[in-house]
Structure 1
Amino acid sequence: MVRFFRHALPLAAPLAAMVLAFAAASAPAAPPTHTGTDGTGAASDQQEGEPQSDAAHPDAVVRSGLPVPRFVTLRSNEVNVRTGPGVRYPVEWVFVKAGMPVEITAEFDTWRRIRDVEGTQGWVHQSTLSGRRGIIVTGQQSRTLRRDAASASEAVAQLDPGVIAKLRKCKGPWCQVDVGGFRGWLQRDEVWGVYPKEEVGE
């Protein structure tokens, strides 16, 4: 299965608020441009500097010294997610949205097991991840991006569920984000990509 994540164009909105929409769609996996050592089209992995050798065992954990779990973002618009920590493991799906937050849940050598907002897990090479932070808007309805960290603050934009934004900082129940040319504050419990009591600075 290949999973695609794409942004839709902004929708018209009343007054000064703009709705930024996000759509997710699934499509069959395209044939590989050329075949890697595992016969599954590992070309994009090798271009990103992945080693040819595989990890010895998918359940073993060799940590980088950084906290696990932790949130990171996808570095590029094409990230192969595999069933195990090595290029011989098949590609289960492909993420195609740079900046999307994922959670690292385990480490093995240069491989990271990640989980997305839907809870699906798989293995990617560390070179495909970035320490820059991002969030995804959650819930069943649009969220209000506010100018200041207060419920009574002026609305800057309306963000649909699934919108991806750059995370700048979090203080208390509020997080400041950049999205679609706007900067403002969302409530922490309206997004995925930051822990409930985590302190995030610029």
Structure 2
Amino acid sequence: MRILAFILVAASGLSLSAPAAAQQEPPYWASIDEPEARMRTGPSTEYPTMWIYKREKLPVKVLARYKSWRKVEDHEGTQGWMHARLLSASRSGLVLATSGKPVAMRALPDANAKVIWLAEPGVVGSLTLCEKSWCLFDVTGRQGYINITDVWGDEPLK
């Protein structure tokens, strides 16, 4: 009886400690939580690797769930499967290369506010405090407001 009680407690602890990104219902935003993450053609290590991502905090859209696997889409539209332990619920954004020029990070969420940093296309940072068309964007401690049209990782999902 003690062994059964221990197994039940251990099992419930495992489900509580699963990453928040692993417990949400798709679609939702997540980010890669490891220095290296494999995208596979199907939901198992038996499927071949399509891509190896080496960008921790890179945002991805989670489109579907199958057991401990998540079907994800990257900023280029590539879709494949990643194990849930590779993902985090932390919101991040990727600066888009629409103009090919650096994007302004401003002191306030206003197009006329002072530019305090410039973010090159491809830069990844944390997104918080998103309202209207602005988010607070943090790149290794350098913070500023960025227009959401300049980042991938914050569009509303349905």
TM-score (norm 1): 0.63
- 2:158 aligned with 1:190: no
Distance 1:95 1:68, change over 3 A: same
Match of 1:170 among 122, 130, 134: 130
Q: List runs of 5+ in structure 1 lacking aligned partners.
A: 1-63
Provide the residue aligned with 2:80 in structure 1: 122
Distance 1:155 1:123, change over 3 A: same
TM-aligned CA deviation for residue 80 of structure 1: 1.1
Match of 1:78 among 25, 36, 42: 36
For 1:156 and 1:103, the matched residues in 2 are separated by: 29
Q: Which residues of 2 match residues 143-158 of structure 1 at below 5 A?
A: 143-158=103-118
Give the residue type in structure 2 aligned to 1:73. Answer: S
Provide the residue aligned with 2:46 in structure 1: 88
Provide the residue aligned with 1:161 in structure 2: 121
Give the residue type in structure 2 aligned to 1:78. Answer: E
Instruction: State the number of aligned residues.
Output: 135
Distance 1:124 1:164, change over 3 A: same
Provide the residue aligned with 2:15 in structure 1: none
What do the CA deviations read for 1:73-105 (whole angstroms, capped 9, x no partner)?
001111111100011101111001111100101
TM-aligned CA deviation for residue 65 of structure 1: 6.3
TM-aligned CA deviation for residue 197 of structure 1: 8.4
Which ranges of 4 or more aligned residues in structure 1 deviate by more than 3 Å?
A: none
For 1:147 and 1:119, the matched residues in 2 are separated by: 32
Match of 1:179 among 129, 139, 153: 139
Q: Which residues of 2 match residues 134-145 of structure 1 at below 5 A?
A: 134-138=92-96, 139-140=98-99, 141-145=101-105
What do the CA deviations read for 1:107-135 (whole angstroms, capped 9, x no partner)?
11110011000000110100000011100
Q: List runs of 5+ in structure 2 lacking aligned partners.
A: 1-21
TM-aligned CA deviation for residue 178 of structure 1: 0.6
* Cα RMSD, aligned residues only: 1.7
Give the residue type in structure 2 aligned to 1:149. Answer: P
TM-score (norm 2): 0.80
For 2:36 and 2:48, the matched residues in 1 are separated by: 16
TM-aligned CA deviation for residue 152 of structure 1: 1.1
- 2:65 aligned with 1:107: yes
Partner secondary structure for residue 80 of structure 2: strand
